[in-house]
Amino acid sequence: MNASPDFFAVFGAPPQAEASAPGRVNLLGEHTDYNDGFVLPIAIPQQTHVGLRRNGLARCRLYAQALDARIDFTLEAPPAPHHATYVYGCLLEARHAGFEIPPLDLHVASDVPMGVGLSSSAALEVATLRGLRTLLHPSLDDVQIAQLAQRAEVQHAGVRCGILDQMASSLARTDRALLLDTRSLAMREVPLPPYAELLVVDSGEPRTLAGTGYNTRRAQCEEAARQLGVATLRDVPGLQALASLPEPLRRRARHVLTENARVLQAAEGVSTHVFGALMNDSHASLRDDYEVSTPGIDRLVALLQAQPDVYGARLTGAGFGGACVALCRAGTPHRVAEAVLLAYAASGGRGRVLVPPAGDGA
Ligand code: GLA
């Protein structure tokens, strides 16, 4: 995607810098990041692109291709439109970190699916900060970019998220998963299990409770840790330690502990079948212990899991609607998707394939 001609059309001059960042799909390690735990995301092919130039004016001007709308803002006051808060938040957090931020023209174009749990907001944040690095601040490193992006989201978009999405967008590749310890930020690349390919399907269920439900789950984890006398659930020595917790805190904590164990096992280099089984277990845990699934997602995941060419499937992202990820036998994702979406439609669901992206080997 080359946004330069469009940048010129909108702002009357070419961009001085351009940058991109991908969305991500999380393979295992859901709701573990804000508990100092382990995650295993991989980048998706879809990206967000940002073009920038210093405009010499007293304000920033942001054009979003998807909305065909331009809005102007200064760093003194947050802009109202949702997408603009992410960009504003990144620029402001970069300034707070000591980087000079002059008034800029910014052009945003993206093919990352929005609102389905594939981190379109992190892609926008990381692309913006990468653009800033190219234009002005070469010393910004990938981890620092992820940390500024996360602060932008927490401080300015109101979601008390962990660092999974921003680290994945900033550091993950599309051909290898990234094992990340969200406490130390130690990381290592992990190959996908052999003869396997990913399929990501949108359930079509809107993520209605994503904001409130997410923050409630996080508060429950913090309360569970407090009652157990540990800093975070990462520090709980084992499942037997959870016996003293009241419900639902015990179930919430059990999900976090078992999910961390699944990530670490998968990253050891297990067989494709075992990797798939860990994904299935993860879904059951998110559904029963963490209670962030929906009836539509459960139906879609069950249909995926019933396919002979699928090793495992689960919801991905925060839950409460959005997308599911399946590990399929190599070469079969399109065939699997066709069969599953037909059956899903027969039960009233309206799904669509997100990865592989349309036109990618179909
Ligand atoms: C959202 C948040 C992440 C992470 C996931 C759940 O994507 O932004 O920080 O908590 O949910 O794993």
pTM across the whole model: 0.97
Q: Are 23 and 166 in contact (CB under 8 A)?
A: no
Q: Which are the contacts of 210, defined by CB distance < 8 A and separation ≥ 6?
A: 318, 319, 320, 321, 322
Catalytic residue, chosen from 36, 105, 165, 309, is 165
Query: For the chain, which residues score pLDDT lower than 50?
Result: 362
Cα 22 to ligand 1 centroid, rounded to whole Å: 16
Ligand 1 environment, Cβ below 6 A: 26, 30-31, 33-34, 161-162, 164-165, 317-318
Write down the pLDDT at residue 228: 98
Distance, CA of 84 to CA of 88 (rounded, Å): 6
Pinpoint the alpha helices (H) of 157-268: 164-171, 210-228, 249-266
Q: What pLDDT score does 210 carry?
A: 64
Q: Looking at residue 81, what is its pLDDT?
A: 84
Which pLDDT does position 4 carry in this prediction?
A: 74
- Closest to 315 (Cα-Cα) out of 288, 339, 333, 335: 288
Single-letter residue type at 287: R
Contacts of 168 (CB under 8 A, 6+ apart): 24, 26, 39, 41, 42, 43, 119, 122, 178, 180
pLDDT of the residue at 362: 46
Instruction: Give the type of residue at 155.
Output: Q
**pLDDT tens, residue by residue, 66-87:** 999 999 999 999 999 888 999 9
165 catalytic? Reply is yes
Ligand 1 atom, smallest distance to 121 CA = 8
* Residue minimizing CA distance to atom 1 of ligand 1: 318
Q: Which residue from 26, 35, 121, 165 has its CB within 8 A of the most atoms of ligand 1, so it is best to mutate?
A: 165
Return the closest-CA partner of residue 21 out of 41, 45, 3.
45
Q: Which of 34, 38, 161 to mutate to test the pocket of ligand 1 (most atoms within 8 A of CB)?
A: 161
Task: Name the amino acid, one letter, at 216.
Answer: T
Beta-bridge partners for 324? 201, 315
Q: pLDDT value at position 344?
A: 98
